[in-house]
């Protein structure tokens, strides 16, 4: 398992770079985005020009959740984890990216123990990537690779920039 966490920019971007590298080896990649629902992002747009073995599924809304998640957002996160199980055990994928799952766990939207049970049930050859701020220690300890993105400098003025923030 690979884990990207930290307050700095680049966690999703790193996971998508890994996805691109995997596609080059004709692997089947699925990205499940917890807490994200924007349809205007580069990765959503890129899905239509990438091979059909690259798919993104979103289970969030177009709002950023920082505290006290509403019940319907908790339900969406649980549905996302159930959908991940279906993809792994019914559809089969080589690379599974659970984008922002760390934050969903941190916010209490998903039980981290259920995530570990799910990961433990998956064939060890499958590449699993977890992203998001505030990764719980129990996942960091279980990871084969854990990277913390640390913000050294991040200048953003005005609207999100295409290709960088969206």
CATH 3.40.309.10 fits 2-148, yes or no: no
Of 144, 65, 81, give the one whose Cα is nearest residue 114: 81
Average pLDDT of the segment spanning 144-166:
90
Average pLDDT of the segment spanning 40-51:
91
Query: How many CB atoms sit inside 10 A of residue 141's CB?
Result: 9
Could you read off the pLDDT of 57-101 as tens digits, one per residue? 999 876 666 677 778 889 999 999 999 999 999 988 999 999 999
- Report residue 129 CA to chain centroid gap: 7
Kindly list the domain boundaries of the chain, sorted by start residue: 2-148
Q: Output the DSSP codes for 90-102.
A: II--SEEEEETHH
Predicted local distance difference test score (pLDDT) of residue 62: 65
The Cα 54–Cα 44 span in angstroms is 11
């Amino acid at each position: 398992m690979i884990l990207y966490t930290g307050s700095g920019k680049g966690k999703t971007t790193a996971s998508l770079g890994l996805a691109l590298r995997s596609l080059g080896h004709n692997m089947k990649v699925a990205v499940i985005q917890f807490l994200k629902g924007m349809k205007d992002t580069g990765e959503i747009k890129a899905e239509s020009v990438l091979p059909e073995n690259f798919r993104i599924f979103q289970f969030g809304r177009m709002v950023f959740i920082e505290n006290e998640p509403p019940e319907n957002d908790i339900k969406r996160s649980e549905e996302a984890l159930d959908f991940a199980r279906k993809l792994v055990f019914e559809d089969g994928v080589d690379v599974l990216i659970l984008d922002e799952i760390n934050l969903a766990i941190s916010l209490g939207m998903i039980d981290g123990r259920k995530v570990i049970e799910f990961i433990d049930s998956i064939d060890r050859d499958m590449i699993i990537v977890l992203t998001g701020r505030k990764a719980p220690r129990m996942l960091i300890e279980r990871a084969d690779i854990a990277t913390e993105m640390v913000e050294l400098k991040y200048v953003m003025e005005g609207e999100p920039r295409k290709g960088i923030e969206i």
